Structure 1
């Protein structure tokens, strides 16, 4: 018997917290499409989406692909046509630096280039459906 452990205490094989629903999974959340990517959002979430040309503080609408309200899941086009996800633009941020290097052997050709993708930070203010 291990020190500090009683005989009646059972040992769990999974780490603590696994298999439990998070706050956003147990309530209302939506899968939205923005800029060719899909994001799982709930009210109050701050998400980085591909850059949109809207002013800071303005409200934008995101296209829902799936809406989950507890046990009720909506994926049909008619139900999603009535649903809407609104978000407030918080500002612009940059992603991590990506370094690109082209190299050709025996010619001395080297070309180095960098890139940082710009994203728009939005806060989800409402999910209606």
Structure 2
């Protein structure tokens, strides 16, 4: 059984026991339980994609860790003008461990 969930403007395929990296959840603390909205639910041969049915299905996840991603270097350069700019960025992430996916009620 797996589900497609939405978090931070992205979609993730999750199953029970998976650890997923999502955009930082600022209100959560390590050990808290979070609920993720479900877009698609696959249970064997049964595929549920009806938004009315999935409105009540929330995937349970435990907040494991807050961390930063890899460094991204942004370089700007214009030829023959002496213009060079260097900028770095590290995205903040939250690790979630999926603890439960409820089945869709029919």
What TM-score, normalized to structure 2?
A: 0.91
Larger radius of gyration: 1
Q: 1:84 pairs with 29, 53, 58, which one? A: 58
- Is 1:40–2:16 an aligned residue pair? no
Highest relative contact order (Cα 8 Å, sep 6+), 1 or 2?
2
CA displacement 1:92-123 (0-9 Å, x = unmatched): 12222110111122221211001111110000
**How far apart are residue 125 of structure 1 and its match?**
0.6
Are 1:56 and 2:30 counterparts? yes
Higher strand share: 2
Stretches of structure 1 that go unaligned for 5 or more consecutive residues are 1-27
Calculate the TM-score normalised by the size of structure 1. Answer: 0.76
Within 5 Å, which residues of 2 pair with 1:1-129? 28-53=1-26, 54-129=28-103
CA–CA distance in 1 between the matches of 2:74 and 2:56? 44
Considering only aligned residues, what root-mean-square deviation do their CA atoms show, in Å?
0.9
Unaligned stretches of 5+ residues in structure 2: none
Paired residue total: 102
- The separation in 2 between residues aligned to 1:123 and 1:104, in whole angstroms, is 45
